[in-house]
Structure 1
Amino acid sequence: MASRRRLKKDIDFLSFEVISDCYNYNYLHPGKGEQVTEIVKDTIVSRNQLIARVNHPDGKDNPKLVKAYYKSVYTELFASVDESFKKLSALIKEK
């Protein structure tokens, strides 16, 4: 991992991509506003939790633990974003 700063930027970028796609869908299909809002809320909560985890790593003394910790943060980030995109994709398929 290069830096915490880069990880935070990745978290922000991926989270805002999900939110951007949700707002685009809501603009084009205004009937599903509540479901899209729930996806956005879940994404924001997940983003805030991930940023908090990055700011307070476990095992600061052991480099191997820190590396494994940040790797788990990346894994959770990708899982969270993937889940949000799947929910949005399901809404798109319904239309």
Structure 2
Amino acid sequence: MGSIRRLKKDINYLTDEIVQHSLLINLLYKDNDDEIKKVIETAMENRNDLIKRVNIRNQSKSEYKQIREDLIAKTDKAFEELSKLTEK
């Protein structure tokens, strides 16, 4: 397990990737504005939730591991939603 700072950087990096891909898909597929907005809003809400969870003091390593697993799961879900939007 890396440091808390590294975990926060990973959360921010993956959220930025979701937003960037969403905006790119929005440029390429103009008819998905509402769905793209929903994906971006969900990504930002997930980011805020994960950062709040990381900032809680005196957590065990297993709690940080769970936060990392949640980050990966939520990121995968967001990219799956974006992938479905490009298939339409």
Shorter-normalised TM-score: what interval? over 0.9
Unpaired segments ≥5 residues, structure 1 = none
Q: Which residue pairs with 2:86 in the alignment?
A: 92
SS at match of 1:2: coil
Instruction: Say whether 1:73 aligns with 2:64.
Output: no
Structure 2 residue 76 is the aligned partner of structure 1 residue 82: yes
Name the amino acid aligned to 1:80: K
Paired AA for residue 61 in structure 2: K
Report runs of 4+ in structure 1 exceeding 3 Å deviation.
Answer: none
Q: State percent identity of aligned pairs.
A: 34
Q: How many residues align?
A: 88
Corresponding residue number in structure 2 for 1:48: 48
Instruction: Provide TM-score, normalisation by structure 1.
Output: 0.89
Q: 1:2 offset after TM fit, Å? A: 2.0
Larger radius of gyration: 1
TM-score of the pair, normalised by structure 2: 0.95
